[in-house]
Amino acid sequence: MKKLISLLLAAVTVSSLAAAFAVPTGAVDAPEIKNAASAYLYNIENSQAIYTYNPEEKVYPTSTVKIMTGIVALEALGDRLDEKVTITSEMLSEVSGNNVKLTVGEQVTVKDLLGAMLVYGANDAAYALAYTVAGSSRDFVQMMNAKAASDEIGAYNTVYTNPTGIHDENMTTTAKDTCAIALYAYKSVPSFMDFAGALKWTMEATNTRQSYIVYNRNCLLSLYYEDSYYYDKARGMNAGSTYEAGYCVVTTASSEVDGNTLTYLAVVMDAQAEEDTVYSYVNVKNLLDWAFEAYVYVDVLSPEQTICEIPVTLANGVDYVTLVSKDSLRIYLPADTDIDKEISLTWSTDSKELQAPIEKGESVGWVFATYHENGNSENSVLIGKSELITTADISRSDLLYGLYKIKQFTKSRVFIAAVIAAVVLAVVYIFGSAFMRWHRKNSKFR
């Protein structure tokens, strides 16, 4: 098996700094992916994958298709959740697999169709939503494919042929694409996670039956069907399987670590089951346990940390000022990072010296943090930066300023032009006077 731990984008956790920097891995070895085709692990706060395994290998999507079905349905019907949909025979004509037994003529709210699909994985609810949005499953699938290939998501290697995930050899995706689609649902579709993260959903009474409850089929999240795969940090998304495509899991998981929230999006595709072990869940749990242990926020800089000194001119009794970091710099790094050995600080200022007057807190440059994996300077990357600010108010000397202005004036073009003009006039005067004397002298002998 090949493993690839990609470079991290370390987001600096200060409001004044939004730039991100690449951070190499160096953490405890990631777990081996067992009996699965591909996997993807993404840290949401720092906007980067920290582990990938065959990320672009084509696989069948199974029930993960319903993530995109939910995206398209919620974007079209998000303001119509209480609207009732009348189930038609056409909506049910293509249904197979897991369902909540919707019947022709039954009137179900949009929100209950979404709950049935995203919580329980009901295929009949998926088709009802598709027909409600687009008038046909074919047109709805076109919308799904267009959304996947949009610049918003960028899932260019995903092709859908139905809204449920029932197997079709022409319907394929990748772990990387699945992560991109799930990330869009998580971040950009209001209320998506309200459905996908619910442990159960109460279906309201309809015109044909009483209310009833459906339970989440994601065993990381719910104990209803199976308790051996429960994961207390899981926040839900999707899980399912088909005979041809194996078992797939997409889940978010979050935890507070030293006062900071870390949220991961994990994907495992085409996993196998042996006896009582479903490896989609096993692999996801192993990846998440590793991530929460192996990566933390490390304090690289603290506010007011002294960085350097810079010369000051025109000041009263002061010839330098100390510069400090404006902000704290907390970087997402391997937990075993040796700060003294693997992190170095460098800085640059806007000028070689400062001129009084100077205000305390004035921004005059930047301090940069660089990561050297295992202390090797040849394997280094920039991981963050913070502004450099002055530590004191420094007043200006009027005498020194006056002399400075005189000096500056003597270097100005006006002064230089005046001097040149004076010299020219003096030369003209001297030569003119000499000529006049010569002329008068010669006139006496005529």
SS3 letters for 70-84? Answer: HHHHHHHHCCCCCCE
What is the spatial distance between Cα 361 and Cα 393, in angstroms, rounded to a whole number? 8
Kindly indicate the confidence band of residue 23, based on its pLDDT and cuts at 50, 70 and 90.
very low
When mean pLDDT is compared across 65-79, 99-113, 146-160, 297-311, the lowest value belongs to 297-311
Each residue of 164-208: pLDDT tens digit? 999 999 999 999 999 999 999 999 999 999 999 999 999 999 999
**Percent above pLDDT 70 for the chain:** 90
Q: What is the pLDDT of residue 169?
A: 96
What is the spatial distance between Cα 148 and Cα 154, in angstroms, rounded to a whole number? 6
* Contact (Cβ atoms closer than 8 angstroms) between residue 36 and residue 269: yes
Question: Concatenated DSSP letters for 321-372?
Answer: EEEEESS-EEEEEETT--HHHHEEEEEEESSSSEES-B-TT-EEEEEEEEEE
Average pLDDT, rounded, for the chain: 88
When mean pLDDT is compared across 32-36, 197-201, 324-328, the lowest value belongs to 324-328
Q: What is the pLDDT of residue 404?
A: 62
Question: What number of other Cβ atoms are within 10 A of residue 304's Cβ?
Answer: 12
Alpha helices in 207-338, H assignment, sequence order: 279-294
In this prediction, residues 224-232 reach a mean pLDDT of: 95
Is 379's pLDDT higher than 90?
no
Is 104's pLDDT higher than 90?
yes
SS3 content of the chain, % helix, strand, coil (to 5): 30, 30, 35
Is 24's pLDDT higher than 60?
no
In this prediction, residues 286-300 reach a mean pLDDT of: 93
What is the spatial distance between Cα 203 and Cα 206, in angstroms, rounded to a whole number? 9
Token pair 């009833």: residue: 212
Kindly indicate the confidence band of residue 407, based on its pLDDT and cuts at 50, 70 and 90.
confident
Q: What is the pLDDT of residue 381?
A: 86
Kindly indicate the confidence band of residue 386, based on its pLDDT and cuts at 50, 70 and 90.
very high
What is the spatial distance between Cα 174 and Cα 109, in angstroms, rounded to a whole number? 33
Each residue of 46-101: pLDDT tens digit? 998 999 999 999 999 999 999 999 999 999 999 999 999 999 999 999 999 999 99
Kindly indicate the confidence band of residue 10, based on its pLDDT and cuts at 50, 70 and 90.
very low
Print burial letters for 366-390: b (CB count within 10 Å at least 16), e (below 16): bbbbbbbbeeeeeeeeebbbbbbbb
Question: What number of other Cβ atoms are within 10 A of residue 272's Cβ?
Answer: 15
Each residue of 138-153: pLDDT tens digit? 999 999 999 999 999 9
In this prediction, residues 400-405 reach a mean pLDDT of: 64
Alpha helices in 221-317, H assignment, sequence order: 279-294
Kindly indicate the confidence band of residue 18, based on its pLDDT and cuts at 50, 70 and 90.
very low
What is the spatial distance between Cα 59 and Cα 162, in angstroms, rounded to a whole number? 15
Question: What number of other Cβ atoms are within 10 A of residue 284's Cβ?
Answer: 27
Is 227's pLDDT higher than 50?
yes
Rg of the chain (C-alpha set):
35
* Contact (Cβ atoms closer than 8 angstroms) between residue 179 and residue 154: no
* Contact (Cβ atoms closer than 8 angstroms) between residue 201 and residue 104: no
Higher pLDDT, 397 or 355: 355
In this prediction, residues 312-319 reach a mean pLDDT of: 88
What pTM was estimated for this model as a whole?
0.81
